[in-house]
Amino acid sequence: MTRSASEILSTVFGYDSFRGSQKQIIDHLIDGGHSLVLMPTGGGKSLCYQIPAMVRKGTGLVVSPLIALMQDQVGALLQLGVKAACLNSSLPLEEIREVESQLIRGELDILYLAPERLLQDSTLDMLDRCELSLLAIDEAHCISRWGHDFRPEYLQLDTLRQRWPQLPMLACTATADERTQQEIVSKLELGAGRVFITGFDRPNIQYRITSKDNEKKQLLDFIKGQHDGDAGIVYCLSRKRTEQFAKFLTENGLKALPYHAGLPSPVRKKNQDRFLHEDGLIVVATIAFGMGIDKPDVRFVAHMDLPKSIEAYYQETGRAGRDGLPANAWMTYGMQDVIFHARLAENSDANEQHKRSERQKLDTMLGYCETVTCRRQLLLEYFGEKLPDPCGNCDTCLEPVDTFDGTEAAQKLLSCVVRTGQRFGALYIIDVLRGSESDRIQKFGHDQLSTYGIGQEFDAWQWRSIIRQLVTHGLLAVDLEGYGGLRLTPNAKPVLQGAECVMLRKEAAAPRRAKKGKKKKASAALLLETGTEAESEANQGLFEELRELRRTIATEQEVPPYVIFHDKTLAAMAMHRPMDDEGFLQISGVGQAKLERYGEKFLSLIRQKS
């Protein structure tokens, strides 16, 4: 007997109702329609293909780009009693043969495969002999050459539409601008399929950006001031920097591990597994880490270097706060980051059109960093979504930035760049403006220039900000072939001549340090969702004991704790304190399989403490 989508949602996944457009997307796929789904991280994309795969006859195929992602998804589904499996290169031969046998016998609801595995002739021939229900392409932005995470193997997925034209296809992602959306629809031949855009906003994430100034201390102040004991991800541009920052954090009393492609595979896997299984662990990583990680309680994502595009920034910051609780996206950056990305794009083997696109994306990212308006409004506008009012949950909203007429400052700086020959970098230009007596300046005779010492009204920190803003305004450019020297663009001439004004953001004379005020733990925010502050405090002890029980079970089963129950589900148990099976099933996130597996243990603890 076929179960309905609503019945599966309740009895298997333990939820009372669908969120947002989930029901429409699921019904459309069950009815055989194609679709592109854009839904923010943590918005419930997986249910949009998992439930239809369980409703429709046959096995649903899910294309996933990373082994860790598919293993995580399969592990969670098995906990729910769903017949799921994956095929990838990490499995031993015996297990591969067992999964293939289950597939051929029609015993699987869902099968996850990497695109490379799926497109092998032997795999395709085997699937031709099976009854398939649907095809889902996860992380579909990987198909776009213009996207931030292009994967060549995704380009071949269009052959699947020709091979199995009867199968409904769903492509889903959390990150795709309009150009990328069009490319996904075209490459996957979705034709007249529907596009569901449920919004890009993650209102629980607070966005903060600051300029680099003793970056290690800045990071330590941020973590210890706001996230001591929390799980988080710190992103760096290079392998060397990941190692350095992981060591620095460890030396300062935090649990931190590096993750990058240069580590031996067993070490990389061990570090990722520890991050998934342990509480309060920080991973310092290159962008190779995190895609598809389902860990819901990542409380912060910190960028120590500028991401190369808004898409990359959105994707990476989206790994924080998947449980909907307050989280932070914090970043520190400097001009060297801009130069690094610009050189990388310029020296690549890509054609001129692609290089121009990369430069535009970098300019947009820099503009986002230097904005004086609401960051969330600017971020959402990039993806075509309008936020009518400032969000009140980003640094520019919480601590509004003053602006000033920076025309005179710009003229001084531009003149100094010209008079020194348009070949020196930002730090040297600042030294000349501020009248440094360095040997280098005297060697070149730049202490005799009319611009020498005329910039005393700003400190070096403020001049660095002015330079970044003039680059953002398109008045200055960086020499990518030499040593990063500054040069004027044609747009600078009207400013130098006084024909145009320049408004700039006003930086404080010294960088602001992270405040070390009392931090409300995420668990407290969770408990407050379903009760008063007094009730929250009274239930905190039970909540922590439920977490400890969950940790014990997860360790025994060698699975991440959140695969057993999410924190939100444990918080609801602590608040409502169910006494029997019926009450336990009323808790959001508890389905029939979870009741049978864990009901007795959790109910016993709740009864003891009530």
Same domain, 143 and 96: yes
Same domain, 489 and 539: no
Same domain, 414 and 480: yes
pLDDT at 595 over 80: yes
Q: Which of 197, 218, 243 is the last residue of a domain?
A: 197
3-state SS track over 360-378:
HHHHHHHHHHHCCCCHHHH
DSSP H helices in 264-390:
265-277, 310-317, 335-346, 352-370, 375-382
pLDDT digits (tens, 9 = 90+) for 197-226: 888 899 999 999 999 989 999 999 999 999
pLDDT of 589 reads: 92
Q: Is residue 550 part of a domain?
A: yes
pLDDT digits (tens, 9 = 90+) for 562-591: 999 988 899 899 989 999 999 999 999 999
Give CA–CA dist 388/391, Å, rounded. 9
Confidence of residue 152 (pLDDT cuts 50, 70, 90): confident
Please classify residue 122 by burial: count the beta carbons closer than 10 Å to its beta carbon, then call 0-12 exposed, 13-18 middle and 19+ buried. exposed
pLDDT of 518 reads: 47
Same domain, 177 and 263: no
pLDDT digits (tens, 9 = 90+) for 262-288: 999 899 889 988 998 888 999 999 876
pLDDT at 291 over 80: no
Mean pLDDT calculated for residue range 406-427: 95
pLDDT at 509 over 70: no
Give CA–CA dist 138/248, Å, rounded. 36
pLDDT at 13 over 90: yes
Q: What average pLDDT does the chain have? A: 89
pLDDT digits (tens, 9 = 90+) for 446-464: 999 999 999 999 999 899 9
Give CA–CA dist 46/341, Å, rounded. 33
Give CA–CA dist 215/212, Å, rounded. 5
C-beta of residue 291 within 8 angstroms of C-beta of residue 65: yes
The counts of H helices and E strands in the chain are 28, 17
pLDDT at 593 over 80: yes
pLDDT digits (tens, 9 = 90+) for 180-204: 888 889 888 887 789 998 888 999 9
Same domain, 59 and 157: yes
pLDDT at 138 over 60: yes
Same domain, 251 and 388: yes
Q: Is residue 512 part of a domain?
A: no
First-last CA distance in the chain: 41
pLDDT of 201 reads: 92
pLDDT at 511 over 60: no
Q: Is residue 211 part of a domain?
A: yes
Give CA–CA dist 587/556, Å, rounded. 24
599 Rama sector, left if φ>0, alpha if ψ -120 to 50, beta otherwise: alpha
CA-wise closest residue to 307 among 319, 295, 325, 294: 319
Same domain, 242 and 317: yes
Host domain of residue 576: 522-608
Give CA–CA dist 506/509, Å, rounded. 9
pLDDT of 446 reads: 96
C-beta of residue 238 within 8 angstroms of C-beta of residue 262: no
Same domain, 437 and 413: yes
Cβ neighbours around 67 below 10 Å, total: 18
Mean pLDDT calculated for residue range 167-182: 88
pLDDT of 520 reads: 52
Number of structural domains the chain divides into? 4
Confidence of residue 539 (pLDDT cuts 50, 70, 90): confident
Same domain, 240 and 313: yes
Q: Which of 505, 538, 557 is the last residue of a domain?
A: 505
